[in-house]
């Protein structure tokens, strides 16, 4: 007889805590977007006067980054910092995710390739701006977790595949944009081949673990590209499969 009211009370407390946590997450996420906006303004040399587009900022505002990190904590998730996601990998700093997305110039009818799915966060951002996102991850456990997470969160236009992204994903392309989130000395030639004319490849060029040049490679004609270094960044290395 006394158990029922107690249970109802306990459920009420749980629901209240969940709502309070949601409200905190919403506040922290809004603060993160403002921090990114301010940072982009102060770095006008990188992006030009127009800064980050409202479309990109809106995607950042809509995406629950706390659901992509192991702790699921909002105070950790919405600081403008990279976060370890296990197996020696990191989810990039939100400003860098926004910057790479902006540089890729993703439009609603675009097909986009991501190399380095990691947590799936960058793929989720791209999914809100493009028609289709194909994402490749080389570490089986990360590929599996990210694919399940994106499915559970109903990002239905994202496909995740386990493999070495060096060779791209020809069956999914050709691509309007390619975003690579691991560092390599040179852009992989299969990725340039799978890029449409007019499309952009955004990736960190340089050795892993030190600083690299975030670079935009634009395909201006078949077999012809232009390359522009944007800003120094620090990414994990691009690894190659053994076979």
Q: List interacting residues with ligand SAH (CB under 6 A).
A: 89-92, 115-116, 118-119, 121-122, 136-139, 142, 164-166, 181-182, 236, 238-240
Q: How far is the CB of 126 from ligand SAH (least distance, A)?
A: 10
CA 24 to chain centre: 23
Structure tokens belonging to residue 231:
């800003």
Q: Least distance in Å: CB of 202 to ligand SAH?
A: 12
Query: Cα separations (Å) of 174 from 24, 35, 144, 162?
Result: 41, 35, 25, 19
92 annotated active-site: yes
* CB nearer to ligand SAH: pick between 4 and 98: 98
Nearer to ligand SAH, 23 or 195 (CB): 195
| Residue 40 or 139 having the CB closest to ligand SAH | 139
φ, ψ for residue 226, nearest 5 deg: -120, 150
Sheet of 224-233: strand order equals 158-162, 132-137, 111-115, 175-180, 195-205, 212-221, 224-233
Task: In angstroms, give the least distance from the CB of 61 to ligand SAH.
Answer: 17
Catalytic annotation, pick one of 42, 75, 92, 241: 92
Secondary structure (3-state) at 114: strand
CB of 9 to ligand SAH, least distance (A): 40
- In sequence order, the β-bridge partners of residue 204 are 214
Specify the residue, 11 or 241, whose C-beta has the smaller distance to ligand SAH: 241
Catalytic residues: 92
């Amino acid at each position: 007889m006394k158990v029922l009211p107690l249970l109802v009370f306990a459920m009420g407390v749980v629901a209240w805590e969940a709502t309070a946590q949601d409200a905190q997450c919403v506040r922290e996420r809004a603060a993160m977007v403002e921090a990114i906006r301010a940072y982009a303004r102060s770095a006008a040399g990188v992006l030009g006067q127009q800064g980050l587009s409202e479309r990109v900022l809106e995607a950042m505002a809509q995406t629950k980054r706390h659901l992509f990190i192991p702790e699921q904590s909002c105070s950790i998730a919405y600081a403008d910092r990279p976060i370890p996601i296990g197996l020696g990998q990191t989810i990039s700093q939100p400003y860098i995710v926004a910057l790479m997305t902006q540089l890729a110039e993703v439009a609603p009818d675009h097909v986009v390739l991501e190399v380095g799915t990691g947590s799936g966060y960058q793929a989720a951002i791209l999914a809100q701006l493009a028609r289709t996102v194909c994402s490749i991850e080389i570490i089986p456990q990360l590929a599996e977790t990210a694919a399940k997470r994106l499915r559970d969160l109903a990002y239905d236009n994202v496909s995740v595949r386990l493999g070495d992204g060096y060779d791209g994903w020809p069956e999914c392309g050709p691509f309007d944009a390619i975003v690579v989130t691991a560092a390599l000395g040179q852009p992989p030639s299969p990725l340039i081949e799978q890029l449409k004319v007019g499309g952009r490849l955004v990736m960190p060029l340089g050795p892993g673990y030190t600083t690299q040049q975030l670079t935009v490679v634009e395909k201006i004609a078949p077999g012809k590209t232009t390359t522009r270094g944007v800003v120094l960044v620090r990414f994990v290395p691009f690894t190659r499969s053994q076979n």
